[in-house]
Amino acid sequence: MIWYVIKLIVLLPLIGALAWGSLKLAQKAQARLGVTGGPAKRFRIIETTMLSPGLKLAVIQFGDREILVSASRQGLTRLGEAPARELGE
């Protein structure tokens, strides 16, 4: 029994260190190769507001449009649409 505990104390931190090191090595390799976090996103969430525990409003920028949607447990509903504002406005 004591041999099992000693192995556990030694190997568990070693496995954790190997996992952490492999993640850091992968991040450095991606940065060196110029790999981004994924494909360019076509939309961006501008703002969200929680109206109730099951209902949220969100403004989504998609291309040159801003779309107001409500998100509930049943799904998304488009409420309105307008041209996108500039960042300074």
Task: Map tokens 């107001």 to a residue.
Answer: 68
The pLDDT tens digits for 24-43 are 999 888 888 876 666 667 88
Contact status, residue 57 vs residue 67, Cβ threshold 8 Å: no
pLDDT tens for the chain, 89 residues: list them.
899 999 999 999 999 999 999 999 998 888 888 766 666 678 889 999 999 999 999 999 998 899 999 999 999 999 999 998 776 55
CA 77 and chain centroid, separation = 22
* Main-chain dihedrals φ then ψ at residue 81, nearest 5 degrees: -150, 145
Contacts of 37 (CB under 8 A, 6+ apart): none
Contact status, residue 57 vs residue 69, Cβ threshold 8 Å: yes
pTM: 0.52
d(CA 56, CA 58): 7
Contact status, residue 64 vs residue 83, Cβ threshold 8 Å: yes
